[in-house]
């Protein structure tokens, strides 16, 4: 679940100096060096150095990060071994702090995220979540180290935010006026964890394609991966073509995108092989069953849902889920983080026993699926939740289900679902992106500036009624489209260029 730059949120970031409350703060190079002497709880400052910009090559990287303002780079370790970096603009600090998310169990500083925040003149942090990446078993660092599982589950991001804000205060002589968190995949999980566990830590959170309720997510991964092995890889594209043939035009425009795949009633049996038909151009009985299981999602032997399946129309992206890396990551959650048993075999998973046992052992630490966001809401926090409809690694149906459950939890009893969702939008909005893969990519518009939308919401009370997204081919923008807050979708107005956002409005599906 290693994301690209979250939702390509930073692909179109504005190169601006944001000035909060009419002032911008600066600091001297000597102030940076002095940070090495800071005394912080359970924290060692490893280095504090000035980077002049405009380029910086991160440790171990072959390519430089460019277009960077001069900054103070602080490296530190929080006990037991949570590494983090904090980048502090030497001039024109916007007065704000930004925390950033990770991908999978990668265990590394995300330098691209630090660079994106710095370019917007944020004081920006990134953490390795308390461990170093391990291969080929992504979770082997956790065996016999329950304290590291806690760091991954919630502690590392929290402690990094606390220490970073203290360093910011010492460096600039003033605490951040606003704090934001930006993440996708595991970063989306981390963002929701912050809202649930530390509701006053961030004023605004962007949580893309969240990998939360991770035990159930990874049970779903193992289920889906196993069934995908029974389908010939070239047929995934064939299935998507059949889905689009049947359902593409139902949203008023035949454009290769399904605005809401839930409205598509395509069944695998519709392209089942007939007598005498070339099996390369249809689904065999085994493949029909396997695809039905993928759409259904992981279930117990009694039929109880463990994790939802995948929507129609994104089958072309499933070769990624069918590969070895998602299976290795998912298996590591069970054998390493939950059971501390390197001999546990994902091929023999018992969906009744093993999921329940993992929930009992580490669910309270790792799942972070609480719908009780009352404290975050009451603190004035704002949350932009988003997911690509064509994500092959984390089901957008799971994110949608959480949004609906949160609405129902926060609403008075017997509130109709549509009214509960409407009431939720005063602090939490969900954007579902048609044709977008995991944290970016795919045929749909996947580049958008959610951070500016979040800043406008938090700082000026302007809620995002739409976020304009774009799609590029070879660096040239060839499609723009509004992303609309659920339950609205982008509706074609009936005239105008269908590749331009102004030809659409947000409305009922």
Q: Is 126 exposed, middle or buried (0-12, 13-18, 19+ CB in 10 A)?
A: buried
Give the pairing type, strands 123-127 and 178-184.
unpaired
Q: b/e per residue, 25-61, with b = 16+ CB within 10 A?
A: bebeeebbeebeebeeeebebeebebbebeebebeee
3-class secondary structure per residue, 113-162? HHHHHHHCCCEEEEECCCCCCCCCCCCHHHCCCHHHHHHHHHHHHHHHHH
Is there a catalytic annotation at residue 391?
yes
Is there a catalytic annotation at residue 185?
yes
Residue 258, both tokens: 């399904």
CA distance 49 to 30: 9
Residue 91, both tokens: 């001039």
CA dihedral angle for residue 288, residue 291, residue 296, residue 298, rounded to 10 degrees: 120
Q: Which of 203, 251, 391, 446 is catalytic?
A: 391
Beta-bridged to residue 135, according to DSSP, are none
Q: Is 305 exposed, middle or buried (0-12, 13-18, 19+ CB in 10 A)?
A: middle
Q: How far is CA 389 from the centre of its chain?
A: 13
Q: Which of 185, 186, 346, 395 is catalytic?
A: 185
Q: How far is CA 429 from the centre of its chain?
A: 15
Residue whose pair of structure tokens reads 């660096």 in the numeric block: 475
Under DSSP, the state recorded for 70 is P
Q: Which of 438, 446, 471, 503 is catalytic?
A: 438
Report the chain's terminal Cα–Cα distance, integer Å.
Answer: 30
The residue count for the chain: 509
Residue 401, both tokens: 């289900």
CA distance 438 to 440: 5
Are the C-beta atoms of residues 303 and 297 closer than 8 Å to each other?
A: no
Name the CA radius of gyration of the chain, rounded.
Answer: 23
DSSP alpha helix (H) spans, 430-508: 450-460
- Whether the upstream peptide bond of residue 54 has omega within 30° of 0, thus cis, is yes
Is there a catalytic annotation at residue 387?
no
Are the C-beta atoms of residues 154 and 362 closer than 8 Å to each other?
A: no
Catalytic residues: 185, 391, 438
């Amino acid at each position: 679940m290693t994301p690209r730059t979250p939702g390509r949120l930073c692909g179109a970031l504005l190169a601006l100096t944001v000035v909060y409350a009419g002032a911008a703060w600066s600091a001297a190079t000597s102030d940076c060096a002095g940070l090495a002497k800071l005394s912080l709880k359970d924290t060692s400052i490893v280095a504090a150095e000035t980077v002049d910009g405009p380029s910086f090559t991160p440790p171990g990287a072959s390519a430089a990060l460019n277009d960077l303002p001069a900054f103070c780079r602080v490296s530190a370790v929080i006990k037991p071994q949570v590494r983090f970096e904090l980048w502090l603009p030497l001039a024109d600090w916007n007065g704000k702090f930004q925390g950033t998310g990770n991908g999978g169990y990668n265990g590394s500083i995300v330098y691209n995220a630090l660079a994106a925040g710095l370019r917007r003149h944020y004081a920006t942090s990134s953490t390795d979540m308390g461990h170093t990446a391990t291969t080929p078993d992504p979770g082997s660092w956790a065996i016999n180290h329950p304290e590291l599982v806690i760091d991954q589950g919630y502690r590392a991001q929290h402690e990094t935010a606390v220490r970073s804000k203290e360093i910011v205060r010492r460096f600039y002589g003033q605490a951040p006026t606003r704090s934001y968190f930006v993440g996708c995949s595991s970063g989306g999980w981390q963002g929701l964890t912050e809202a649930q566990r530390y509701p006053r830590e961030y004023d605004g959170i962007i949580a893309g394609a969240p990998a939360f309720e991770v035990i159930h997510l990874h049970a779903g991964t193992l289920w889906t991966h196993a069934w995908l092995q029974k389908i010939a890889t070239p047929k995934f594209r064939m299935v998507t073509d059949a889905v689009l043939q049947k359902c593409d035009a139902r949203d008023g425009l035949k454009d290769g995108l399904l605005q809401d795949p839930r409205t598509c009633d395509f069944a695998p049996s519709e392209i089942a092989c007939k007598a005498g038909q070339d099996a390369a151009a249809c689904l065999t009985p085994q493949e029909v069953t396997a695809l039905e299981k993928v759409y259904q999602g992981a279930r117990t032997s009694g039929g109880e849902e463990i994790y939802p399946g995948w929507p129609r129309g994104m089958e072309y992206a499933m070769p990624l889920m069918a590969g070895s890396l998602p299976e290795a990551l998912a298996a590591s959650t069970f054998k390493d983080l939950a059971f501390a048993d390197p001999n546990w075999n994902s091929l023999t998973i018992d969906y009744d026993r093993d999921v329940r046992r993992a929930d009992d052992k580490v669910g309270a630490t790792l799942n972070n699926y609480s719908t009780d966001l009352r404290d975050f809401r009451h603190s004035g926090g704002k949350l932009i939740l988003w997911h690509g409809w064509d994500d092959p690694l984390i089901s957008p149906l799971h994110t949608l289900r959480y949004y609906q459950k949160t609405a129902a939890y926060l609403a008075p009893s017997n509130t109709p679902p549509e009214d509960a969702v409407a009431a939720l939008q005063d602090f939490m909005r969900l954007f579902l992106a048609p044709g977008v893969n995991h944290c970016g990519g795919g045929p749909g518009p996947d580049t958008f500036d959610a951070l500016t939308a979040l800043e406008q919401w938090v700082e000026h009370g302007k809620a995002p009624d739409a976020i304009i997204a774009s799609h590029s081919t070879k660096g040239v923008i060839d499609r723009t489209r509004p992303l609309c807050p659920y339950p609205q979708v982008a509706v074609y107005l009936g005239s105008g260029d269908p590749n331009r956002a102004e030809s659409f409005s947000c409305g009922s599906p």
